[in-house]
Amino acid sequence: MAANRKTVTIITSPTTQTKSLPLSTFGANRGSPTAPKQYRIEERKRTVYVTSDMDPSEWDTQSLNAVFSMADHGSQGEQDDAGDGIRRTQSLVETQFFISEDDGSGSDSNAVYQPTVPSQGARISTFQPSQPSPRSVSRFLQKITTPPGSPKRSPVKSRPQILFYHKQDPHYGFTNFSAHPVVYKGKRYPTSEHLFQSFKFHGHRPNLAEHIRTCSERPSVAFSEARRFQPEVRSDWKKVNIEKMEIALWHKFTQHLDLKAELLSTGDAELIEDSDKDAFWGVGADRRGRNELGKALEKLRTKLRELP
């Protein structure tokens, strides 16, 4: 083999007896050769091993095309149990590949281990298929610089989500507009929304705070009245509004045991105020809002569970 050519071995499982495939693009322009390393390439349903003396970050597109083309198909001469010739077909689903270096140590640390060698030996692909799409190669190149943390990648389990907001839907009691009166410092507030809005004026404008409390039984009126007197809202409101919301929720859920039980029954679910009008307390129209009300309820849920 010429001095400027490198060796790449592509097999479907590790083996000690396999022919090498010369690929001049693997290190043709490198100054001095280094000892080949074996890399584990993980695909969605199959594992391919590539032995190369170059780091994967140095592999070019042409070489990767050859790797994927050979690894994506079985041998033309393979036979199934019935003796009929078979040929693997490419999946219509875009394939993702992951690379990790394999040092044969058998350890799971640093995403490196030596897989079991099949008793009947490895099968080498000789079928020459069409080249993979540039998009697939691009996605593979991105994975080279960020190898997986483990050879066995399990799907990330996301928490279940519970959405609340509309009156006709479950868990409407989680909203501040539900008809659950709240007693705070000896005074009754028709809803937790009344209490929350009145916090904007407690201390420096007690008359306005009282007006919010008594203006109507409807929470929407309390909301509107607080907005009407926006210039009188305490100057540090944006710094304390989440704290005040947590206080309002604490009094509401500790004074209504049915709501407390309902909140605790949600387990570890993510609570989301599904409001398309509020991107601070809810998720907003683009569903990327801060959802601060949902977060406050989750925090309250944890606090309630810690009670003796």
Residues 294 and 184 in one domain: yes
- Domains held by the chain: number: 2
Q: What is the DSSP letter of 214?
A: H
| Residue 267 in domain | yes
Q: What is the pLDDT of residue 67?
A: 63
276 with 288: CB under 8 angstroms?
A: no
Q: What is the pLDDT of residue 7?
A: 52
Residue of 89, 95, 90 whose CA lies nearest to 143 = 95
Q: What is the pLDDT of residue 94?
A: 41
Q: What is the pLDDT of residue 49?
A: 63
How would you classify the pairing of strands 161-164 and 37-42?
unpaired
Coil, strand or helix at 18: coil
Q: Which residues in the chain show pLDDT less than 70?
A: 1-34, 39-50, 57, 61-157
CA angle 143, 148, 153 (to 5 degrees): 120
| Residue 185 in domain | yes
pTM: 0.52
| Residue 1 in domain | no
Residues 132 and 168 in one domain: no
| Residue 153 in domain | no
Residues 110 and 201 in one domain: no
Question: By residue range, what is the domain housing residue 259?
Answer: 161-305
Q: What is the pLDDT of residue 143?
A: 46
Q: How many CB atoms lie within 10 A of CB 283?
A: 22
Span 46-89, pLDDT tens digits: 555 667 777 776 777 666 666 666 555 444 444 444 444 333 33
Coil, strand or helix at 295: helix
Scanning 229-291, the segments in alpha helix (DSSP H) are 237-255, 257-264
CA distances to 59, 115, 117 from 106, in Å:
26, 7, 12
Gap between the Cα atoms of 7 and 36, Å rounded: 8
